Structure 1
Amino acid sequence: MSKADSTKRQPVTGTGRFISGVVEGFYGRPWTMEQRTELFKREQKWGLNTYLYAPKDDYKHRMYWRDLYAAEEAEQLMGLISAAKQHDVEFVYAISPGLDITFSNPKEVAALKRKLDQVKEFGCRSFSLLFDDIETEMCPADKQAFSSFAHAQVAITNEVYKHLGEPEVFLFCPTDYCAVFCTPSVTQSSYLNTVGEKLLPGIDVLWTGPKVVSHKISVESIEEVSSVLKRAPVIWDNIHANDYDPQRLFLGPYKDRPTDLIPKLKGVLTNPNCEFYPNFVAIHTLATWCKAPAEGAPRDVEMGDEEQDPCYSPQKALNLALTDWLEEFMSTDQPGGRVVVTLIHGMSVLPGPCHPRLKKESSEEEPMQTDMGESPYVPGPGENPLYTAEPLTLDDLKLLSDLFYLPYEHGTTARTMLQELDWLKNQSQAAAAETDKTAEWCSRAQQFDNMCEAVVQMFNRLSNAPNRSILYDLYNYICDIKSGVGLVGRASSAVCLDIIKVQGLKKKNCL
């Protein structure tokens, strides 16, 4: 579509209450009931209003969608729905029947209605039907009953929507939920055009943007899909999702979505990291983004080239989130506020994949704190002083965010480290061959070592932070990064020594 065409079209803008919040829609271990309740508290505090329950690995949400909830499960869901209401969060129950439903079978439709009726009895008033990540080939019975896959989905969605009394919030996730899935394009997709024409107007449509994990979402792209769907979409945003790569974690700010999008959308729901506690930044910065137009331009912030939004600065939003997150790190989740960290050869050690199983030797392993009622140990003259954990700092969290930033972008410090490492690698032979380049190489190698040491110190302070729940979610990631930079740092130091030795031999031979 040409730019001229897009300017002629009247955009479909969002109306009514702007949906904002979190979708628990990832593949992996679902969050606990306690974590979800904590999420509702945070959403209320930060001004978000919606939670979409859609964990892919809840069997009764997806694989065994026909099965009703047992008594114990029902009690948990009722408690969760009640907790959401207490914190002014709209609880949206999603069900995903697309793996094996026969759309043309009345018994299947009845089973779907029966399941949603049960959840409605729990106190739920908002619902969602999801048809994402499924096969598009219809069974023979459905091919006879419906002219297309889209017609089958729309028919059952409209019927369920009316059966439930046309809820104020009812979300539909299409199988073609992003631009790259649309054939041959968004505007010419017969699937999307059918959805736009046939889906009842009170049903909102979920959309992830240009891709499943979208780098940027432009106003023009939303106007385009809105014209096809005949309604403003609700963005299901995977910018912080990490279920597709278990070695990555995303702690950068919500960005590359201009606030000019807000009047063009019905809402935004973030589908964040699988780990609950590291999502503090993702959800906090989304809340800042949602409020930005109402609060006006950010103050006391110089915007960089990539920060052109007059209402929202990702860097300022990140700093606000990390400042609040630091308080969470420093609050204890241990009874009585006591934290026990084992010391081995003067280093703090936590259980985890970084540490081999260690034999317990009384002479080498002492608890940091003890409840035995003994007098505190005082080192004698000439002995090592007692280990004292340094407190975590805001700079530590900024470094942590830089190292685990966003899917398409590293943080500033991470970029600098990668650039320096690349330079050191490419210039090592020249430094060994030319004396005048040796000093520069070794100087930059020392600066790189200092950056690596900062990562190690961040790891140590994180490991001693009082809030262990956050740490346990982060531990595998920070352990890996610490091991990686430690290895690279030692390698650069060794290369520097080799270069100095080579230059020393050259001078000796010249003499």
Structure 2
Amino acid sequence: MSTMPVLGVIEGFYGRPWTAAQRGRLFERMAAWGLNTYLYAPKDDRWHRQEWREAYPAAEAESLRALVEDARQHGVRLVYALAPGLDLDWANGADRRALAQKFVSVQRLGIEHFSLLFDDIPYAPDRAAQAREQVAATHHVLDALWPDGQAGLMLFCPTEYCAERARPGVASSPYLRALGEGLRPSVDILWTGPQVVSPEISVQSILEVNRAVCRPVLLWDNLHASDYSLHRLHLGPYAGRPLDLRAGVAGILSNPNNPLEPNTPGLFSLADYAGAAPDWTPETSLDRALEVWLPEFMAVPAHPVTLEDLRLVAHMLYLPGQLGPQAVRVLTVARQVVDLQTGAEQRASLLEELRAARRRVVRVLRALEAGPNRDLLFDLHPYLVDVVEELNRLMVGATQRGEDDPEAFLYRGSLADHLMTLGREN
């Protein structure tokens, strides 16, 4: 069991927010796995970002109130985030009043923990001055929420929220220095690592930013985020973070895939990592996560799915810029199949291996189609079908057999599909 005071999930992506029912299922899983914090920050909640000055309409306010109660019943701390940075004018008294009033109006719904986000906004010419304004805004909110002293969490997301955005660098950034010196010690600062999406985060890099902001940072971890490309989903383990990293951060919040259901492997693995023994590895953590996930695919006895089948699917949709070992093998075989130097006998053997991989993916797809978890089917369907069709195309092209002419695979219809094929062999 983890001893991290803040460990959980951020709904912080661009795109369609999760529904109340989906969040309820998330809270159930968080409670089962030992995740304690949910940060409500969907970029496309209109009243969170674009219309931050406006109070939530009655129906939406009631939904937030119900969400707080649902989280509380599952032992999950809900943190409400507001993102006013696109057009907040700190010199304008009306904006200062609107900022405080919005937070207080949300507090009246039963919310006890808050966050102020200044990510993904334009940089000011004077970044240190921009930081000082953001510090003043944060303290203004703190005093409006808790005039007798801070009683809940306040999380702050900076405009320089990763190393690649810090100018001229983390250790020498006037912006980060102004934040560290100005923000009250009770305010936690969110950080995504060396990059917006960081495949690896070293202990050294965390210690560097901790020194710059005068406190341990709270990881906003985009490892499993998928909102930056429609062609990806991440089913791999929590990886690229050494166990020693846990001692250097105030906590970890995962901003995961947009579809909710495919987040079981990554979130389970995060919880596994947080409380892990020294012999922990991402690979064994993924296996434990897949064992937990497998029953979702096994609801219909006539369509059995094995752990090995599910492992192949997870390896196909692994981590940013990385395939899992089984998917690497399928890709290697596919390249050999289309290589003109491959002999006929070897190609026949390789094709059978591709057919076996395709059958395993189809087995998972058919189980989902027959099963009751329609959200899981809908979330995974396009990715599974895409792999099945591409494998079929390769096999038809290699054998010149089948009902489909390899020159007639016309389903690559969008510009993005065509752009994906350019420059691959250069």
Q: Say whether the fold is shared (TM-score over 0.5).
A: yes
Which has the larger Rg?
1
Partners in 2 of 1:22 and 1:56 — Cα distance?
Answer: 15
1:420 and 2:333 aligned: yes
CA RMSD of the aligned region, Å? Answer: 1.9
SS at match of 1:288: helix
Q: How does 1:133-282 map to 2 (within 5 A)?
A: 133-137=120-124, 148-165=129-146, 166-282=150-266
Runs of 4+ aligned residues of structure 1 deviating over 3 Å after TM superposition are none
The partner residue of 1:396 within 292, 309, 313 is: 309
Deviation at 1:438, TM superposition (A): 3.6
Query: Are the structure 2 counterparts of residues 492 and 451 from structure 1 closer, same or farther at C-alpha, using a change threshold of 3 Å?
Result: farther
Structure 2 partner of 1:481: 387
Give the aligned partner of residue 65 of structure 1.
52
Matched residue, 1:37: 24
Between 482-491 and 246-255, the greater mean CA deviation after superposition: 482-491
Q: Are residues 404 and 413 of structure 1, via their aligned partners in 2, closer, same or farther at CA, if it must alter by over 3 Å? A: same
- Report the identity percentage: 42
Paired positions, count: 396
Does residue 471 in structure 1 map to residue 377 in structure 2?
A: yes
Q: For the residues of structure 2 that align with 1:258 and 1:93, how far apart are their CA atoms?
A: 29
Asked if structure 2 preserves the Cα contact closer than 8 Å seen for 1:392 and 1:465, the reply is no
State whether residues 404 and 410 of structure 1, in contact with CA within 8 Å, keep that contact through their aligned partners in structure 2.
Answer: yes
Matched, 1:19 2:6: yes
Q: List per-residue Cα deviations over 1:378-428 (Å, max 9, x = no partner).
A: xxxxxxxxxx942222222111101111112101111111112222333x2
Equivalents in 1 of 2:247, 2:128: separation in Å?
Answer: 35
Q: CA deviation at 1:147?
A: 6.6
Equivalent residue in structure 1 for 2:62, among 56, 68, 75: 75
In 1, Cα distance between equivalents of 2:4 and 2:202? 22
One-letter identity of the residue aligned with 1:475: H
- 1:205 aligns to what SS in structure 2? strand
Give, in whole Å, the separation in 2 of the partners of 1:447 and 1:273.
Answer: 30
- Corresponding residue of 1:124: 111
Aligned residue for 1:148, secondary structure, equals: helix
- Alignment match, 2:405: none
Q: Is the 8 A contact 1:179 1:186 kept in 2?
A: yes
Could you give the per-residue CA deviations for residues 61-100 of structure 1, whole angstroms, max 9, x where no partner exists?
A: 0000011012211211111111111111111000000011
CA distance in 1, matches of 2:321, 2:344: 35
How far, CA to CA, are the matches of 2:291 and 2:4 in structure 1? 30
Instruction: Pick from 467, 483, 490 the counterpart of residue 396 of structure 2.
Output: 490
- SS of structure 1 residue aligned to 2:79: strand
Match of 1:55 in 2: 42
| Secondary structure of the corresponding residue to residue 231 of structure 2 | coil
C-alpha contact (below 8 Å) 2:164/2:195 kept by paired residues: yes
SS of the residue corresponding to residue 216 of structure 2 reads coil
The worse-fitting range, judged by mean Cα deviation, of 451-460 and 63-72 is 451-460
Deviation at 1:313, TM superposition (A): 1.5
- Secondary structure of 2:275's counterpart equals helix
Once residues 64 and 444 of structure 1 are traced to their aligned partners in structure 2, the CA distance between those partners, rounded to angstroms, is 56
- Aligned: 1:444 with 2:357: no
Q: 1:99: which partner in 2? A: 86
Asked if 2 retains the 8 angstrom alpha-carbon contact of 1:208 and 1:235, the reply is yes
Which amino acid is 1:454 matched to? R
Alignment correspondent of 1:407? 320
2:129 aligned partner, one-letter code: S
Partner Cα distance (1:230, 1:185) in 2: 16
Displacement of 1:122 in angstroms is: 0.9
For the residues of structure 2 that align with 1:329 and 1:104, how far apart are their CA atoms?
Answer: 55
Question: Contact 1:456–1:486 at 8 Å: present in 2 too?
Answer: no
2:328 counterpart of 1:328: no
Gaps of 5+ in 1: 1-15, 298-309, 332-338, 340-387, 432-436, 496-511
In the alignment, the residues of structure 2 paired with residue 167 and residue 229 of structure 1 have an alpha-carbon distance, to the nearest angstrom, of 22
Structure 1 residue 238: Cα displacement: 0.5
Gaps of 5+ in 2: 402-426
Shift of 1:137: 3.2
Q: Distance in 1 between matches of 2:34 and 2:185?
A: 27
SS in structure 1 opposite 2:189?
strand
1 CA distance for matches of 2:400 and 2:352?
11
Distance 1:265 1:99, change over 3 A: same
Q: Is the 8 A contact 1:92 1:125 kept in 2?
A: yes
Distance between the aligned counterparts of 1:236 and 1:315, measured in 2?
A: 22
How far apart, CA to CA, are the structure 2 residues paired with 1:122 and 1:285? 33
Q: 2:108 is aligned with what amino acid?
A: E
Measure the CA separation in 2 of the matches of 1:171 and 1:442: 58
Structure 2 residue identity aligned to 1:485: L
CA distance, structure 2, for counterparts of residue 71 and residue 23 of structure 1: 24
Alignment TM-score, normalising by the size of structure 1: 0.74
Choose the corresponding residue for 2:360, options 454, 470, 483.
Answer: 454
Give TM-score, length-normalised by structure 2.
Answer: 0.89
